[in-house]
Amino acid sequence: MHKVLIPTKLDKFAADMLTQKGYNVVLDATTALEEQVARDSDAEVLIVRSEKVTKEIIDALPQLKLVVRAGAGYNTIDTKYARKRNVDVMNTPGANSNAVAEEVIALILAAFRHLLPADASTRAGNWEKSKFMGHELTGKTIGILGLGHIGQLVVKRLAGFEVKVLGYDPMISPTRAEEIGAELCSVERIFAEADCITLHIPENEETRGMIDRKLFSAMKPGAMLVNCARAGIINEEDLRAVKAEKKIIYCNDVYPKDAAGPKTVADVADIMMPHLGANTFEANFNAAKRAAEQTIAYFEQGVTNCVVNKALPDGLDAGYQKLAYVLAALTKAYLGDSNPTRIETSFYGKLADYAKYLVPPVVAAIASDFAVEQGPKEAEQFLADGGVELVNRMVDNNKNYGEAMTIDLFVGSGSTIFKASARGTITEGQPMVSRLDEFDKLYFDPTGHHLFVEYADEPGVIGKIAGILGEKNINIVDIRAPQNLKTGRSLSVITTNVEVPEMLVDKIREAVNAEKAFSFSYQG
């Protein structure tokens, strides 16, 4: 009999369903998690919502086999440590999506029509109709950052308001975006043109603080920003500095910690909710049902489709997953901001046997809301949902590439398709990039900070770049500068001691008339 600990306010359906199947279920929504794991240390399954499952919690449950997050986001769970302890971590993607999407619409309407202050004023005996002159949602331009489950449902729920939808998502193809009713564009355009912007992106190293002063300053006067995603993606100080000048309306439902007490965002939020996004009876029931069903399928049928921290298959070195990640990330950086519409892969030598396990890191490299630890089926479904074609090519091992791989990304459609490619392998335990697009014999370790500059081949260019870096006390660690004799172009890959800031990249691009210039960092 498997023991299941549910230390959270989850619909009783989950406990009932598991109990009927013979599981020993402990449902306790009031006692602190630390106390519960000490009391029920023999639990094999932990089903949580927003509770933090730390290294200490995992260690306190020596028989733990499975953690189920009754919801989509699992940033509160130490998935890497769980993997070390051979504990699988699952989520229930989509269970809460509609609840969050509807909350976004509710917040937009409440803010546009001043519902909360008007209610308080009227209850106080006042009659201030002119004070609460509002706006209509119909006909507005709505910007959505993140077109996953929730973002796509927001588009669907907005359909009756006849709005124009601008969307940003690095993994949605233009064709797929058009199918769901959104026009793909840059983050900058969304902030410049939208009357209302809603955020549906994860918080990670790439997105933390990305909504900054530059974007706030670009917003239309009186525009609205809704954050039902994660607190850390917004730079609060930058919002505070610009809000009054731009008359930004800010609606917020997320915080660094879900707990009582003062909130730092209180002075800049026009509407604040206590993280109610998934707080509906329907969403709670859906998450509970999914969590119970997945737990039963896991133990009785070995189903692991929703495990987000899958282990590597026997025989595959984890370094090759890192290599697949870095090759895809580098290729994406070389192409720029365009979303890929097609991915082609070639895996040489013994890697061909593990091709499907090398797809998840490729997807994770080009989509911030997909985790490297997720499985092959999830990666393929993620690409299919975004309208991105995946092709694993047959290879000719007579080329003697050894255990190497090539990742090609395609963007555009019809007669305007652009492609970039990267090849690499593992050398002395480290990833090594041997080719980037048409620049062969590159042979560089992608670990660290790098500046890539592509330009018409002529004397003195590297010296100019080195001079500009030197002016800012940026030290050059290594230089690779292969030529493409057919096109007369060179690519300088300059490894530096620190990351080269974007403003300096722009200066270098202009100084050497570069076709491409970008910084790239990878810490392995």
**Domain-wise residue ranges, the chain:** 3-94+282-301, 97-272, 311-437, 447-524
Structure tokens at 501: 């800031």
* Confidence at residue 328, expressed as pLDDT on a 0 to 100 scale: 96
Do the beta carbons of residue 311 and residue 360 sit within 8 Å?
no
What burial class does residue 492 get, using C-beta atoms within 10 Å of its C-beta: 0-12 exposed, 13-18 middle, 19+ buried? Answer: buried
Rounded to the nearest angstrom, the gap between the alpha carbon of residue 350 and the centroid of all alpha carbons in its chain is 31
Distances (CA, A) of 126 to 71, 120, 148, 169: 42, 9, 43, 45
Helices (H) and strands (E) in the chain, counts: 17, 22
| Cα gap 89→73, rounded to integer Å | 12
| Cα gap 41→125, rounded to integer Å | 56
What burial class does residue 158 get, using C-beta atoms within 10 Å of its C-beta: 0-12 exposed, 13-18 middle, 19+ buried? Answer: buried
Strand 404-413 to 340-347 pairing? antiparallel
Do the beta carbons of residue 45 and residue 2 sit within 8 Å?
yes
| Cα gap 211→235, rounded to integer Å | 6
CA geometry: angle at 179 spanning 173 and 180, to 5°? 95
| Cα gap 266→269, rounded to integer Å | 5
Q: In DSSP terms, which residues pair with 145 in a beta bridge? A: 168, 199
All residues at 6 or more sequence positions from 243 whose CB lies less than 8 Å from its CB, including other chains: 216, 250, 268
Fold topology of 3-94+282-301:
Rossmann fold (3.40.50)
Question: 311-437 — its CATH code?
Answer: 3.30.1330.90
| Cα gap 283→70, rounded to integer Å | 10
Please report which residue ranges of 40-78 form alpha helices under DSSP H. Answer: 55-59
Report residue 193: phi and psi, to 5°: -110, -25
Strand 24-27 to 340-347 pairing? unpaired
Among candidate residues 405, 325, 338, 333, the one with its CA nearest the CA of residue 365:
325
Amino acid at 98: N
Do the beta carbons of residue 362 and residue 345 sit within 8 Å?
yes
Do the beta carbons of residue 251 and residue 227 sit within 8 Å?
yes
| Cα gap 359→320, rounded to integer Å | 11
Q: In DSSP terms, which residues pair with 66 in a beta bridge? A: 45, 88
Given a cut of 50, the residues of the chain with pLDDT beneath it are none
Q: In DSSP terms, which residues pair with 4 in a beta bridge? A: 25, 45
* H/E run at residue 24: strand 24-27
All residues at 6 or more sequence positions from 400 whose CB lies less than 8 Å from its CB, including other chains: none
* Confidence at residue 63, expressed as pLDDT on a 0 to 100 scale: 96
| Cα gap 519→460, rounded to integer Å | 21
Give, to the nearest 10 degrees, the angle between helix 149-158 and helix 97-112. 50
Chosen CATH of 447-524 out of 2.60.40.420, 3.30.70.260, 3.30.70.1140, 3.40.640.10: 3.30.70.260
| Cα gap 504→409, rounded to integer Å | 27
Among candidate residues 289, 285, 371, the one with its CA nearest the CA of residue 89:
371
Please report which residue ranges of 148-206 form alpha helices under DSSP H. Answer: 149-158, 174-180, 187-193
Structure tokens at 253: 């439902």
| Cα gap 309→86, rounded to integer Å | 10
The yes-or-no answer to whether 3-94+282-301 and 97-272 have a common fold is: yes
Question: Collapsing DSSP states into helix, strand and coil, what is residue 319?
Answer: helix
Amino acid at 452: F
| Cα gap 190→482, rounded to integer Å | 38
| Cα gap 94→447, rounded to integer Å | 35
Among candidate residues 431, 499, 423, 433, the one with its CA nearest the CA of residue 205:
499
* Confidence at residue 414, expressed as pLDDT on a 0 to 100 scale: 65
Residue located via tokens 């790098």: 450
* Confidence at residue 415, expressed as pLDDT on a 0 to 100 scale: 67
Q: In DSSP terms, which residues pair with 479 in a beta bridge? A: 494
Question: 97-272 — its CATH code?
Answer: 3.40.50.720
